[in-house]
Structure 1
Amino acid sequence: MERVVGTVTRGIRCPIINEGDNIEQITVDSILKAAEVEGFEIQDRDIVSITESVVARAQGNYATLDQIAKDVKNKFGEDTIGIVFPILSRNRFANILRGIAKGAKKIVIMLSYPSDEVGNHLVDIDTLDEKGVNPWTDVLTEQQFRDNFGYIKHTFTGVDYIDFYKSLVSQYGVECEIIFSNSPKTILDYTKSVLACDIHTRERTKRHLKANGVEKVYSLDEILSESVDGSGYNREFGLLGSNKSTDDGVKLFPRDCQPIVEKIQKMFKEKTGKLVEVMIYGDGAFKDPAGKIWELADPVVSPAYTTGLDGVPNEVKLKYLADNHFSDLKGENLNNAIREFINNKEDDLVGTVETQGTTPRKLTDLIGSLSDLTSGSGDKGTPLVFIQGYFDNYTK
């Protein structure tokens, strides 16, 4: 019978993962059980996606606020710390800020505006135009910001992040000043010791600071890059990708992930005879059209994946072929012509007219978005995602 279904994505339920659990065995067992119960078969080039959170939980990759504070104290001593370009997030940054505050004497927080780097807005850009404020040149104090824009709560969370972040620092008796600028060097008018808290632009920020006389500069990937008093750590990403676990701690991005995906792939091969691709995923990197949030607070979409997921799609646009190359054909003749074109397409179609309108992003970024939307961020209970038919095309 002709196949009439393309890509199929399933959220897979598994037990609640705790520290010390065998994440590889749980992943394989959960998917094999789902296949048995739901009646599907494991095939070559199926994809297993595992959310980073359960991997970090199994690793016990946690840290307390005191451990963050100690690392900050070791790096900055008694200096006033300039915190540059943090994202606006209760889950992602609030506990990090509290940890920094516990290790500081004074903090100056410099927020980018009208939004942070992932799209959380402090103020609407049209309001900047109305007030004659230029975010590329104008530096605002907290009072100037309030005079122009008043008190604005975040669209989704209902939080005024200016007051919220200031209150987190003040609860430890630490002096806190907030300013607004999009130029990294602005902070050097307040302190020469800076912690760059941006995610994807951190190297540029540090480069500008070093070119303008900073004396001490670190980024979040350099905080808890090594264990402090037995804490979790991440050599590559430090605190980047971490989020709130308890009121007094954070869960870090998982570390040493490549052996995990390779072991899971090997286990599936041994149990099913099929070569399954495996990846660990975090935020999916898609943009919300209403809130304008670019959903990528993790440093990467996928910290580890098997080799079959390397690269980008090599696809042609079916409607272009139908409207141009084969516009004189219809029915089965058209179908056959398109199938033949696909079967004989070149291995690298970048820049060709037939690919216009396709999505040549990294496979892991595309599959990460698909997985993130499937698993959700709440109580679905499906931290594993099983994808079939992703690499099929019209000829299969």
Structure 2
Amino acid sequence: MERLVGTVSRGVRAPIIRQGDDMARIVVDSVLAAAESEGFSLRDRDVIGITEAVVARSQGNYATIQDIANDVRQKLGGGTVGVVWPILSRNRFAVCLRGIAGGCKKVVLMLSYPSDEVGNHLITEDELDAAGVDPWRDVLSEARYRELFGYKKHTFTGVDYVDYYRSVIEGAGAECEIIFANDPRAILGCTKAVLTCDIHTRRRTKRLLTAAGADAVFCLDEIMTAPVNGSGYNDQYGLLGSNKATEETVKLFPIHCQELVEKVQAMLLEATGRHVEVMVYGDGAFKDPVGKIWELADPVVSPAYTPGLEGTPNELKLKYLADNDFADLTGADLKAAISKAIEEKDQKAENLTGNMASQGTTPRRLTDLIGSLCDLTSGSGDKGTPIILIQGYFDNYTK
């Protein structure tokens, strides 16, 4: 019988993960138990995704606000520090900000406007236009911002992030000044010691600030890169990818993830004879067209994955073939022609970059696409499925 189902994504339930748990064993046991319970079998090139949160939790990869304060003070001097372009997030940045402020005498907080890097808006573009403000040139004081735009609360969270971040900084014992600008060099009129908190543009920001005469510039991925008094750390991403754990601690992005994915792959090969691909995933890489929020607040979608997930899709567009190359065919003849074209493409291992028959296919990395599917499947709430099993992703119309 012809197979009529393509890609299937399943959330796999797992125990509540605690520090010290054997993450690889839990993943393998959970997937095998789910397969037995639901009556499916693993196949070669299935993909198993493990959410970064449970990996970091099993590693005990946490840092306190005092750890962060000590590291910031040691690297930036403990005086007046410019904190540039953080995202607006109670979960992602507020606890980090408490630690940062604890390591400074004064914080000059510079916010981008009308929104942060990932699309959380302070104000709308229409309000910006109505005020006659040029966001590329105009630097606004907090007083001028309030005069023009008043007290705005985030659409979804109901939080005035300007007021909230001020309260966080002052609550940590630091003096606070807030400005609004979209040129990072504007901060240098206030201080030459800068912590740039943007995620995906951080290297450019640091380069511009350094060239413009900053005395010291660090990015968030350069804070907490080594243990502080026995704390957790991330040698590659620092504070980037961290989340609030408690009011006093953050969970850092996990470390040693490559070892984990390779171990899970090997264990499942031994247990089932199937060669599956494995990845650790965080945020997906997609944007909400209504809320305007770009989901990717982590530095990468996947910090580690097995080699079979390297690369980008190499696919033909079925509707292009049907409307162009085989426009004169219908029914079984059309199906046979399209199937043959796909089989020939696979046999030749042909790179379709620039081929018109591949236009409209998604030109993104496999890890970003599959990691986004994992993130959407697991959600961020109470589903209890931190492990995702994806089957049929690498199949096509001929399989």
Q: State if a TM-score over 0.5 links the two structures.
A: yes
Structure 1, unmatched stretches of 5+, are none
Tell me the residue number matched to 2:205.
Answer: 205
Alignment TM-score, normalising by the size of structure 2:
0.99
Tell me the residue number matched to 2:260.
Answer: 260
Summarize deviations over 1:222-281 as a string: whole Å, max 9, x none: 110000000000000000000100010000000111010000000000000000000000
The residue identity in structure 2 corresponding to 1:376 is G
1:352 equivalenced with 2:341 (yes/no):
no
Give the drift of 1:172: 2.6
Which 4+ residue blocks in structure 1 deviate beyond 4 angstroms? none
The residue identity in structure 2 corresponding to 1:94 is A
Tell me the residue number matched to 2:389.
Answer: 386
Distance 1:336 1:242 in 2: 50
* Equivalent position SS for 1:274: coil
Summarize deviations over 1:350-382 as a string: whole Å, max 9, x none: 111111111020000000110000000000000
Alignment TM-score, normalising by the size of structure 1:
0.99
Summarize deviations over 1:317-355 as a string: whole Å, max 9, x none: 101100111111110000000000011125210111111
Distance 1:69 1:314 in 2: 47
Distance 2:283 2:38 in 1: 28
Tell me the residue number matched to 2:273.
Answer: 273
The residue identity in structure 1 corresponding to 2:317 is K
Summarize deviations over 1:106-143 as a string: whole Å, max 9, x none: 00000011111111111101111111101001000001
* Equivalent position SS for 2:341: helix
Tell me the residue number matched to 1:49.
Answer: 49
Distance 2:288 2:329 in 1: 40
Q: How does 1:297-308 map to 2 (within 5 A)?
A: 297-308=297-308
Tell me the residue number matched to 1:295.
Answer: 295
Structure 2, unmatched stretches of 5+, are none
Tell me the residue number matched to 1:6.
Answer: 6
* Equivalent position SS for 1:177: strand
Summarize deviations over 1:287-332 as a string: whole Å, max 9, x none: 0111100000000000000000000000111011001111111100
* Equivalent position SS for 2:245: strand
Give the drift of 1:10: 0.2
Percent identity over paired residues: 66
Contact in 1 for aligned 2:73/2:104 (Cα 8 Å): yes
Summarize deviations over 1:175-216 as a string: whole Å, max 9, x none: 100000000110000000000101111100000001111001
Distance 1:44 1:211 in 2: 51
* Equivalent position SS for 1:187: helix
Distance 2:350 2:250 in 1: 44
* Equivalent position SS for 2:92: coil
Distance 1:116 1:285 in 2: 16
Q: How does 1:58-69 map to 2 (within 5 A)?
A: 58-69=58-69
Tell me the residue number matched to 2:240.
Answer: 240
Distance 2:78 2:240 in 1: 24
Distance 2:316 2:158 in 1: 44
Tell me the residue number matched to 2:75.
Answer: 75
* Equivalent position SS for 1:344: helix
* One of 375, 378, 389 as aligned partner of 1:372: 375
Distance 1:131 1:286 in 2: 30
Tell me the residue number matched to 2:316.
Answer: 316
- Please give the root-mean-square deviation of Cα atoms over the aligned residues, in Å: 0.7
* Equivalent position SS for 2:188: helix
Distance 1:171 1:83 in 2: 16
1:153 equivalenced with 2:153 (yes/no):
yes
